[in-house]
């Protein structure tokens, strides 16, 4: 499987939108254009990366079930940095132009730098 930074972002945004205060999801995690095994594998990476709280259950055929409890504080901060399409696009274009491999961690840090650059200097 190849890591898909856009899928990781879509999963975080989905969880934010569909996670009630008591935790869990109010609808099944389905992302248009991606099959269930790929989505589950990316959820596993986001849990291991500290962006989501949850657990993954694997069997002989790979990941069978993902149980997402909620976004972590790191996950909420990541969403705030990468949710705006203009910033997300600028980060992706910048990485492509510079030949930089883009991970979720790098994308979030780059987006935060873009946001800081837009703030007035006090």
The owner of tokens 């055929």 is: 61
Domain extent, residue 95, equals 78-118
pLDDT for res 79: 96
- 58 and 95: one domain? no
Q: Do 52 and 43 contact (CB within 8 A), yes or no?
A: yes
- 20 and 57: one domain? yes
Q: How many domains does the chain have?
A: 2
Length of the chain counted residue by residue: 122
Residue 78's pLDDT band (boundaries 50, 70, 90)? Answer: very high
**Whether pLDDT at 67 is above 90:** yes
- 10 and 61: one domain? yes
The owner of tokens 């930089």 is: 100
Does this model's pTM top 0.85? My answer is: yes
Q: Angle, to 10 degrees, between the axis of helix 104-118 and the axis of helix 73-82?
A: 60
User: What whole-number distance in Å separates Cα of residue 103 and Cα of residue 84?
Assistant: 17
**Whether pLDDT at 122 is above 60:** no
Q: What's the whole-number mean pLDDT along residues 32-38?
A: 95
Kindly state the tokens that stand for 93.
């274009």
**Whether pLDDT at 105 is above 90:** yes
């Amino acid at each position: 499987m190849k890591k898909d930074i856009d899928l990781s972002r879509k999963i975080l945004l989905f969880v934010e939108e569909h996670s009630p205060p008591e935790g869990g999801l109010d609808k099944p995690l389905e992302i248009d254009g991606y099959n269930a095994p790929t989505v589950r594998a990316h959820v596993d990476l986001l849990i291991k990366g500290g962006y989501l709280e949850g657990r993954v259950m694997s069997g002989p055929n790979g990941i069978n079930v993902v149980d997402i409890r909620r976004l972590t504080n790191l996950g909420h901060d990541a969403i705030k940095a990468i949710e705006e399409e203009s910033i997300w696009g600028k980060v992706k274009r910048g990485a492509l132009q510079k030949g930089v491999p883009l991970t979720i961690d790098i994308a979030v840090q780059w987006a935060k730098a873009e946001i800081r650059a837009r703030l007035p200097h006090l």
